[in-house]
Chain A
Amino acid sequence: MKKIFFLISALVLILGPLHAQEKLKTKSGTITFEASVPSFEEVKATHQNVSAILNTSNGEFAALALVKGFRFKVALMEEHFNENYMESSTYPKAVFKGIIADFDIEDLKDKPSKYTIKGSITLHGETRDLNEPVQIWKEEDKIVVTTNFKLNPEDFNIKIPAVVSKKIAEDVDVAAKFNLQN
Chain B
Amino acid sequence: MKKKLALLIFAIVIIGGIIGYNYLYQDHREIATEEPIAELTSESILEIFRQEDSSEILNATVTVKGKISEINETSITLDDKVSGSFSEIPGDMAIGMEVEIKGRCIGYDDLFELVKMDQCTILNN
Chain A interfacial positions (CB closer than 8 Å to B): 25-28, 48-49, 51-53, 62-64, 66-69, 74-76, 78, 82, 89, 92-93, 95
Q: Residues of B contacting A49 with CB < 8 Å? A: 74-75, 83, 85, 106, 116, 118
Query: Contact partner of A51 among B28, B74, B111, CB < 8 A?
Result: B111
Q: A69-B106, A76-B26 are in contact. Are A52 and B58 (CB under 8 A)?
A: no
**Can you list 15 contacts pairing A with B, beta carbon distance less than 8 Å?**
A25-B111, A48-B85, A49-B106, A49-B116, A51-B109, A51-B116, A62-B111, A66-B109, A66-B116, A67-B107, A69-B107, A74-B25, A75-B29, A76-B24, A92-B58
**Within B95-117, which residues are at the interface with A (CB < 8 Å)?**
104, 106-112, 116
* Total residue contacts A-B, CB cutoff 8 A: 72
Interface residues on B, range: 20 to 34
Determine the distance from Cα of A63 to Cα of B112 in the docked complex, in whole angstroms: 10
Determine the distance from Cα of A51 to Cα of B74 in the docked complex, in whole angstroms: 13
Main secondary structure of the interface of A (DSSP, over half): strand
B28 touches A89 (CB 8 A): no
B85 to chain A, nearest CB (A): 5
B70 to chain A, nearest CB (A): 8
B106 touches A66 (CB 8 A): yes
Q: A28-B72, A51-B111, A53-B111 are in contact. Are A68 and B58 (CB under 8 A)?
A: yes
Determine the distance from Cα of A48 to Cα of B24 in the docked complex, in whole angstroms: 25
